[in-house]
Amino acid sequence: MSPPYLKEKDVLRLLERSGALQQGHFLLSSGLHSPQYVQCALLLQDPEATAKVCAAIVRPFRNSGVQVVAGPAIGAIPLVYEAARQLRARGIWTERVDGRMQLRRSFRVLAGERVLVVEDVVTTGGSAREVVELLRQLRAQVVAVASLVDRTGGIDPGFGVPFTALVRLDLAAYDPARCPLCQAGTPLHQPGSRSFTIGERSRA
Protein backbone atom coordinates (compact mmCIF):
# COMPACT_ATOMS: atom_id res chain seq x y z
CA MET A 1 0.00 0.00 0.00
CA SER A 2 1.45 3.39 -1.01
CA PRO A 3 1.95 6.09 1.66
CA PRO A 4 -0.58 8.94 1.62
CA TYR A 5 0.38 11.88 -0.58
CA LEU A 6 1.78 14.82 1.31
CA LYS A 7 0.94 18.48 0.92
CA GLU A 8 3.57 21.21 1.19
CA LYS A 9 2.67 21.93 4.82
CA ASP A 10 3.12 18.24 5.64
CA VAL A 11 6.60 18.19 4.10
CA LEU A 12 7.55 21.35 6.00
CA ARG A 13 6.40 19.71 9.21
CA LEU A 14 8.58 16.65 8.49
CA LEU A 15 11.59 18.87 7.78
CA GLU A 16 11.05 20.83 10.99
CA ARG A 17 10.54 17.74 13.16
CA SER A 18 13.70 16.11 11.80
CA GLY A 19 15.80 19.21 12.51
CA ALA A 20 16.60 19.60 8.82
CA LEU A 21 15.94 23.37 8.80
CA GLN A 22 19.08 24.86 10.36
CA GLN A 23 20.24 28.38 11.20
CA GLY A 24 23.83 29.65 11.13
CA HIS A 25 26.39 30.58 8.44
CA PHE A 26 26.70 27.91 5.79
CA LEU A 27 28.65 27.27 2.62
CA LEU A 28 26.18 25.79 0.13
CA SER A 29 27.16 23.29 -2.56
CA SER A 30 26.47 26.11 -5.04
CA GLY A 31 29.35 28.09 -3.51
CA LEU A 32 26.95 30.68 -2.08
CA HIS A 33 26.71 31.52 1.62
CA SER A 34 23.45 31.40 3.57
CA PRO A 35 22.15 31.91 7.12
CA GLN A 36 19.88 28.88 6.55
CA TYR A 37 20.68 25.31 5.53
CA VAL A 38 18.34 22.44 4.67
CA GLN A 39 20.02 19.24 5.83
CA CYS A 40 17.71 16.78 4.12
CA ALA A 41 19.82 13.84 5.33
CA LEU A 42 18.24 14.29 8.77
CA LEU A 43 14.82 13.65 7.23
CA LEU A 44 15.99 10.95 4.81
CA GLN A 45 17.58 8.87 7.59
CA ASP A 46 14.00 7.85 8.40
CA PRO A 47 12.85 5.23 5.84
CA GLU A 48 9.17 5.85 6.57
CA ALA A 49 9.52 9.60 6.05
CA THR A 50 11.56 8.98 2.90
CA ALA A 51 8.82 6.75 1.51
CA LYS A 52 6.24 9.47 2.19
CA VAL A 53 8.15 12.29 0.49
CA CYS A 54 9.07 10.08 -2.48
CA ALA A 55 5.43 9.13 -2.96
CA ALA A 56 4.69 12.83 -3.35
CA ILE A 57 7.74 13.43 -5.58
CA VAL A 58 6.86 10.66 -8.05
CA ARG A 59 3.11 11.23 -8.06
CA PRO A 60 3.13 13.33 -11.30
CA PHE A 61 5.27 10.71 -13.05
CA ARG A 62 3.55 7.43 -12.23
CA ASN A 63 2.07 7.13 -15.72
CA SER A 64 4.90 8.76 -17.64
CA GLY A 65 6.83 5.59 -18.46
CA VAL A 66 9.90 6.41 -16.33
CA GLN A 67 12.46 3.62 -16.70
CA VAL A 68 15.35 5.09 -14.71
CA VAL A 69 15.61 7.43 -11.74
CA ALA A 70 18.94 9.26 -11.49
CA GLY A 71 20.47 11.83 -9.17
CA PRO A 72 23.78 13.27 -8.05
CA ALA A 73 25.71 11.65 -5.22
CA ILE A 74 25.57 11.87 -2.37
CA GLY A 75 22.55 13.74 -1.07
CA ALA A 76 20.08 12.45 -3.65
CA ILE A 77 20.90 8.75 -3.25
CA PRO A 78 18.12 7.90 -0.72
CA LEU A 79 15.59 9.69 -2.94
CA VAL A 80 16.88 7.91 -6.05
CA TYR A 81 16.32 4.44 -4.69
CA GLU A 82 13.00 5.02 -2.98
CA ALA A 83 11.61 6.90 -5.99
CA ALA A 84 12.86 4.12 -8.28
CA ARG A 85 11.24 1.49 -6.06
CA GLN A 86 7.91 3.26 -6.17
CA LEU A 87 8.09 3.73 -9.95
CA ARG A 88 9.40 0.18 -10.48
CA ALA A 89 12.36 1.64 -12.30
CA ARG A 90 16.14 1.34 -12.02
CA GLY A 91 17.91 3.69 -9.64
CA ILE A 92 21.36 5.08 -10.42
CA TRP A 93 23.51 7.97 -9.29
CA THR A 94 26.23 10.11 -10.81
CA GLU A 95 29.55 11.15 -9.31
CA ARG A 96 32.12 13.80 -10.13
CA VAL A 97 35.42 12.60 -11.54
CA ASP A 98 38.03 15.31 -12.08
CA GLY A 99 35.29 17.89 -11.67
CA ARG A 100 32.90 16.37 -14.24
CA MET A 101 29.70 14.45 -13.59
CA GLN A 102 29.94 10.83 -14.71
CA LEU A 103 28.29 7.45 -14.38
CA ARG A 104 30.48 4.98 -12.50
CA ARG A 105 30.05 1.53 -10.88
CA SER A 106 29.06 0.03 -14.25
CA PHE A 107 25.83 2.06 -14.32
CA ARG A 108 24.45 2.47 -17.82
CA VAL A 109 21.63 4.39 -19.49
CA LEU A 110 20.44 3.25 -22.89
CA ALA A 111 19.59 5.61 -25.73
CA GLY A 112 15.92 6.56 -25.55
CA GLU A 113 15.37 5.48 -21.96
CA ARG A 114 13.03 7.76 -20.03
CA VAL A 115 14.79 9.18 -16.97
CA LEU A 116 13.52 11.17 -14.00
CA VAL A 117 16.25 13.21 -12.28
CA VAL A 118 15.76 13.71 -8.54
CA GLU A 119 17.61 16.00 -6.11
CA ASP A 120 17.28 16.80 -2.43
CA VAL A 121 17.75 20.60 -2.58
CA VAL A 122 18.01 22.82 -5.66
CA THR A 123 19.59 26.25 -5.13
CA THR A 124 21.27 27.21 -8.40
CA GLY A 125 20.55 23.79 -9.92
CA GLY A 126 24.14 23.13 -10.92
CA SER A 127 24.40 19.50 -9.85
CA ALA A 128 21.05 18.44 -11.30
CA ARG A 129 21.80 20.39 -14.48
CA GLU A 130 25.05 18.46 -14.89
CA VAL A 131 23.12 15.20 -14.50
CA VAL A 132 20.63 16.28 -17.16
CA GLU A 133 23.44 17.26 -19.54
CA LEU A 134 25.21 13.93 -19.00
CA LEU A 135 22.02 11.97 -19.70
CA ARG A 136 21.43 13.94 -22.88
CA GLN A 137 24.96 13.13 -24.02
CA LEU A 138 24.05 9.47 -23.50
CA ARG A 139 20.92 10.07 -25.64
CA ALA A 140 18.51 9.34 -22.79
CA GLN A 141 15.17 11.13 -22.66
CA VAL A 142 15.00 13.26 -19.51
CA VAL A 143 11.37 13.53 -18.40
CA ALA A 144 11.79 16.11 -15.62
CA VAL A 145 13.77 17.20 -12.58
CA ALA A 146 12.01 16.73 -9.24
CA SER A 147 13.34 17.84 -5.87
CA LEU A 148 12.37 17.71 -2.25
CA VAL A 149 13.22 21.41 -1.70
CA ASP A 150 13.37 24.32 -4.16
CA ARG A 151 15.34 27.28 -2.86
CA THR A 152 16.00 28.91 -6.25
CA GLY A 153 14.03 32.00 -5.26
CA GLY A 154 12.09 31.74 -8.52
CA ILE A 155 15.19 31.87 -10.72
CA ASP A 156 15.06 29.41 -13.62
CA PRO A 157 17.70 26.72 -12.98
CA GLY A 158 18.00 26.08 -16.70
CA PHE A 159 17.22 22.38 -16.81
CA GLY A 160 15.40 22.58 -20.13
CA VAL A 161 12.76 20.16 -18.79
CA PRO A 162 9.90 20.59 -16.30
CA PHE A 163 11.01 21.19 -12.71
CA THR A 164 8.85 20.28 -9.71
CA ALA A 165 9.46 20.47 -5.96
CA LEU A 166 7.53 19.53 -2.85
CA VAL A 167 8.53 22.65 -0.90
CA ARG A 168 9.65 26.08 -2.08
CA LEU A 169 11.64 28.00 0.52
CA ASP A 170 12.58 31.65 0.08
CA LEU A 171 15.91 31.55 1.91
CA ALA A 172 18.68 34.12 1.69
CA ALA A 173 21.84 33.26 -0.26
CA TYR A 174 24.84 35.54 -0.72
CA ASP A 175 27.82 35.79 -3.01
CA PRO A 176 30.83 35.19 -0.73
CA ALA A 177 32.31 38.57 -1.67
CA ARG A 178 29.16 40.33 -0.39
CA CYS A 179 28.14 38.05 2.48
CA PRO A 180 27.05 40.06 5.55
CA LEU A 181 27.74 37.06 7.78
CA CYS A 182 31.36 36.99 6.62
CA GLN A 183 31.60 40.73 7.22
CA ALA A 184 30.27 40.21 10.74
CA GLY A 185 32.90 37.52 11.39
CA THR A 186 30.38 34.70 11.86
CA PRO A 187 32.14 31.31 11.53
CA LEU A 188 31.41 29.54 8.25
CA HIS A 189 30.33 25.89 8.21
CA GLN A 190 30.34 23.46 5.28
CA PRO A 191 27.66 20.86 6.04
CA GLY A 192 27.18 19.48 2.52
CA SER A 193 28.88 16.66 0.63
CA ARG A 194 30.74 18.71 -1.97
CA SER A 195 34.49 18.91 -1.44
CA PHE A 196 35.99 22.31 -2.13
CA THR A 197 37.92 24.80 -0.10
CA ILE A 198 35.87 27.23 1.97
CA GLY A 199 35.87 30.51 0.09
CA GLU A 200 36.09 28.83 -3.32
CA ARG A 201 33.06 29.31 -5.57
CA SER A 202 31.96 25.95 -7.03
CA ARG A 203 30.63 25.47 -10.53
CA ALA A 204 27.23 24.44 -9.14
Query: What 8-state DSSP symbol labels residue 177?
Result: G
Q: Has domain 8-183 been given CATH number 3.40.50.2020?
A: yes
pLDDT at 193: 58
pLDDT at 51: 95
Q: On the CB side of 195, how many CA atoms lie within 13 Å of its CA?
A: 7
Supply the pTM of this predicted model: 0.84
Confidence at 200, pLDDT banded by 50, 70, 90: very low
Average pLDDT of the residues of the chain: 90
Confidence at 31, pLDDT banded by 50, 70, 90: confident
Query: Minimal CA–CA distance to 75: which of 119, 15, 26, 31?
Result: 119
| Greater model confidence, 146 or 31 | 146
